[in-house]
Amino acid sequence: MTDEKPYSQACENNKQVILEKLATVFSGSGTILEIGTGTGQHAVHFATNLPHLTWQPSDHPSNYQLCEPWLSEANLPNINEPLALNVIADDWQVPTISGAFSANTAHIMSWPEVEAMFRGVSSNLQLHEAFCLYGPFNYNGQFTSASNRQFDTHLKQQNPKMGIRDIDELKRIGSDNGLVLESDFEMPANNRLLVWRVHGT
């Protein structure tokens, strides 16, 4: 039988290292909203290995059903049906969550969408809850590798609104939304896992 599940080699490469960090950040029970789920490989790996959590996949309305084949094959009790969520929406129709996760989305979204993602995450999290954001990022406007620079050029050729984001810019929109960068973990292949936490004033 042909395996028709969508497949991302990058997800296979990074899912275990991301899991090891998520296990410590999301150590309590609750529902984690995943933004921009994509194929569903991350959702299945994290829900399988973090059974104390309920995983809530979501993606842009044009893409949210992409993960269905992985989800239905895994048939896990702790993954909800994927939600259609465009981060730019004013009012996110999501269940009560106690954390959020997103991988490889900030460089795909336009900057207003990145801002909207931080705003929406912040409005749906409570004090001290965390948002984990994985992907490639710049520091002080500098690429961390030649391959990230090439990737950025490639993205901008497809759509000038895409591109690798600068940590300082993300810190600024985090701060505007009560999210403080608590940890910045180095990950393989010139990626980072940024852990943002809701802070009180």
Ligand X SMILES: C[S@@+](CC[C@H](N)C(=O)[O-])C[C@H]1O[C@@H](n2cnc3c(N)ncnc32)[C@H](O)[C@@H]1O
Residue 11 in the binding site for ligand X (CB under 6 A): yes
Minimum distance of ligand X from residue 41's CB (angstroms)? 7
Minimum distance of ligand X from residue 187's CB (angstroms)? 12
Q: Which stretch binds ligand X (CB under 6 A): 23-31, 46-54, 72-80, 100-108?
A: 100-108
Q: How far apart are CA 144 and CA 142, in angstroms?
A: 6
Helix (H) and strand (E) counts in the chain: 6, 9
Q: Note whether 63 and 70 are within 8 A (CB).
A: no
Minimum distance of ligand X from residue 60's CB (angstroms)? 4
Closer residue to ligand X in complex, CB, 124/200: 124
* 112, two tokens: 């207003």
Q: Which stretch binds ligand X (CB under 6 A): 31-39, 48-56, 75-83, 154-162?
A: 31-39
Among 25, 32, 100, 103, binds ligand X (CB under 6 A): 103
Residue 22 in the binding site for ligand X (CB under 6 A): no
Phi and psi for 70 in degrees, rounded to 5? -65, -40
CA 133 from chain centre, in angstroms, equals: 5
Per DSSP, the three-state class of 127 is coil
Site string for ligand X, 68-97 (x = CB under 6 A): -----------------xxxx---------
Q: How far apart are CA 17 and CA 35, in angstroms?
A: 19
